[in-house]
Amino acid sequence: MTDPVEHGPGRTAAAFQEVYGAVPAGVWAAPGRINLIGEHTDYNDGFVMPLALPHTTLAAAAPRADGVLRLHSGAVPGSVVELRVAELDPAAVGRAGGDRGGWAAYPAGVVWALKDAGLAVGGLDLHLDSTVPTGAGLSSSAALEVATAAALNELYGLGLDSRSIARLCQRAENAFVGVPCGIMDQTASACCTAGHALFLDTRDLRMRQVPFDPAAEGLRLLVIDTRVRHELGDGAYAQRRASCEAGARALGVRALRDVPYAHLNSVVAELADDPVTLRRVRHVVTEIRRVEEVVECLDAGAVRAIGPLLTAGHASCRDDFEISCPELDLAVEAATAAGALGARMTGGGFGGSAIALVAEAAVERVSTAVDRAFAAAGYRPPRLFPALPSEGARRLL
């Protein structure tokens, strides 16, 4: 991970020139994200509420006339992955000696998804730098994809809007990289705006930018990266998706989004003989409701009131959806015990990061309490930093 202070378009352009011997045609940025509330609701057609982080992936790029795709990452200096656009298929990166799940599959997958959608994309030289921590549940993959897509969109005059970019990047990740993710991360990276959380309906990508400025309320939203690596491709995520789909089938709805919160009691009765599906369904239905409640609070200017909703969301992720882990639980417990207004895991789960909403005056106390709790449990020291609601994808140079 590059130091955020040194990270910048000039540096990324210079790195491009060093690798490819020419100046790039431009430099684009796409951010990582945290999700304020609405976990594992996106593939159930539900609501989510992410916000973009200041941490970004920068893509320096130049088009090529010969249909060759050259990919280089600042994280793996010296090794250029070379592919032919015409030959890209979901196994191409593997054949080129790369790892199908490795970093190059993400930009290659984006080129493939654009081409597969009938868009006229040609060759490209690409250099990527990132300050988004990887494996931390902060959407480093979506940032890679969206930065690449933003570059291609302009260089090849594709005329894609930010929703289409998000959809194509999700397709790249689903069909090329092989991760069955929903649409939240790519949409957050493509569409978030500074000073806002994105209230997103994942059914039709209708969205509203909801003002969210914790600092103006004397608050801070802390990210607690447990540094337990999470892997979305490892089967547990797909299992949760399958349970949700089974629940929707059992209840006779298109997606769990169509189960009204007011019907929860009858759902509990209907699924009584399948306690696992019942818990998965209950998480999704209550979590969608919590997104609406958080939006109501923010619309009313009651930022502090979202704290208990965040903590209730964590309990639901932990107990009903079973996607937490001891380190995330400890982060949430230690933060709330030390006075955080609310805390929860964020992202796919099974490791990664938690967030905590904390009054400015309590930031020191909460941070120390989390550090101490991790040390006492024998866990690696967590990494804490503030989540400032930041700008989505954009061109920098």
Residues that bind ligand GLA (CB under 6 A): 35, 39-40, 42-43, 181-182, 184-185, 232, 347-348
Choose between 95 and 229: whose C-beta lies nearer to ligand GLA.
229
User: Alpha carbon of 393 to those of 73, 120, 355: distances in Å?
Assistant: 19, 22, 23
What's the gap between Cα 144 and its chain centre?
A: 11
Cβ pair 37, 291 in contact under 8 A: yes
Choose between 19 and 34: whose C-beta lies nearer to ligand GLA.
34
Out of 45, 125, 129, 185, which one is annotated catalytic? 185
Clarify whether 185 is annotated catalytic.
yes
Beta strands in 120-174 (DSSP E): 123-130
Q: Closest distance between ligand GLA and the C-beta of residue 377, in Å?
A: 25
Q: Closest distance between ligand GLA and the C-beta of residue 190, in Å?
A: 13
Choose between 43 and 103: whose C-beta lies nearer to ligand GLA.
43
User: Alpha carbon of 62 to those of 110, 119, 128, 151: distances in Å?
Assistant: 16, 18, 12, 9
Tokens of 156: 């090849």
Choose between 98 and 182: whose C-beta lies nearer to ligand GLA.
182
Amino acid at 187: T
Q: Closest distance between ligand GLA and the C-beta of residue 172, in Å?
A: 12
Cβ pair 385, 3 in contact under 8 A: no
SS3 content of the chain, % helix, strand, coil (to 5): 45, 20, 35
Choose between 36 and 69: whose C-beta lies nearer to ligand GLA.
36
Cβ pair 165, 156 in contact under 8 A: no
Cβ pair 203, 45 in contact under 8 A: yes
Q: At what angle do helices 236-251 and 275-299 cross, to 10 degrees?
A: 90
Beta strands in 266-361 (DSSP E): 342-346, 353-359
Known catalytic residues are 185
